[in-house]
Amino acid sequence: MPRKPQQPRAHATVGAIVEAGFISLARHGVENTTTRHIADIAGVSVGSLYEYFANKEEVFDAMHEHMVREVVGMVRPLIPTLVRMDIRELVAELLYRFRDLLERDDGRYLRYMSYAAYFAPRDQIEPINRLLMDLLMKYVMHHPRLVRLGNLPAMGFIMINGGVFTVIRYLTEPNPTVAFDDLVRGLGDMVAHFVDGELQRAGSAD
């Protein structure tokens, strides 16, 4: 039964362990990330690690939470601005920011992200999905013509998942054959043309 850190010293230990988790993962990959590695990098003993985490899995969970908080913290304040943008700009802004976040600290988060989908249970990714779905809904509200779009849940699912995974996969590609700019432009065009096409279809169906 892991304990809650109470003194500042203990909080620092927990923080160091989580950070060490990212570092070890980026350095050795998941397979070769042992509790001993993590403890060593964090500068504490294995015993201390198990003082605050029931098992290795929980360290990953904590890393995940950290990452989610980071992403949400980045996107949420942008929402009011994003909502007023042209749809292509929105896609671009979001994707460039997302890339920058993932590539920070030598791709520490990116490396984790490419494993997370497998490790992390659904409900841990959920906050990000909800956030993006929320953004989508707010965007539609601010652009009344979009209210006519049908089946937003399905389209949201496609755009969010398709977008996120495509970018993660692109960034982990060792030597990409296309430029990131082209990818971003492509995704923007995709969404924009979809919207235009659907609106046209809805309009002619009146």
Partner DNA sequence: GGCATATCCGAGTTGAATCCGAACAATTAG
Partner DNA sequence: CTAATTGTTCGGATTCAACTCGGATATGCC
Residue/partner pairs of 80-86 with CB below 8 Å, 24 or more apart: 82/135, 82/139, 83/135, 83/138, 83/139, 83/141, 83/142, 84/142
d(CA 40, CA 26): 15
d(CA 76, CA 94): 11
* CA 149 to centroid of chain Cα atoms: 26
Tell me, residue by residue from 5 to 24, as one string, x for binding to DNA by CB under 7 A and - for no binding.
Answer: xxxxxx-xx-----------
Judged by CB under 8 A, does residue 154 bind a copy of itself? yes
Pick one of a copy of itself, DNA, none as the site partner of residue 205 (Cβ within 5 to 8 A by kind).
none
* Cβ closest to DNA, residue 1 vs residue 205: 1
Q: What residue spans of the chain are helical by DSSP H?
A: 8-28, 35-42, 46-52, 56-75, 79-82, 87-119, 122-142, 152-172, 180-204
Size of the site for a copy of itself (CB under 8 A): 38
Judged by CB under 7 A, does residue 34 bind DNA? yes
Judged by CB under 7 A, does residue 56 bind DNA? yes
Judged by CB under 8 A, does residue 151 bind a copy of itself? yes
Residues that bind DNA (CB under 7 A): 3-10, 12-13, 33-36, 44-48, 50-52, 54-57
Residues that bind a copy of itself (CB under 8 A): 30, 114-115, 117-119, 122, 151, 153-155, 157-158, 161-163, 165-166, 169-170, 173-174, 177-179, 182-183, 185-187, 189-190, 192-194, 196-198
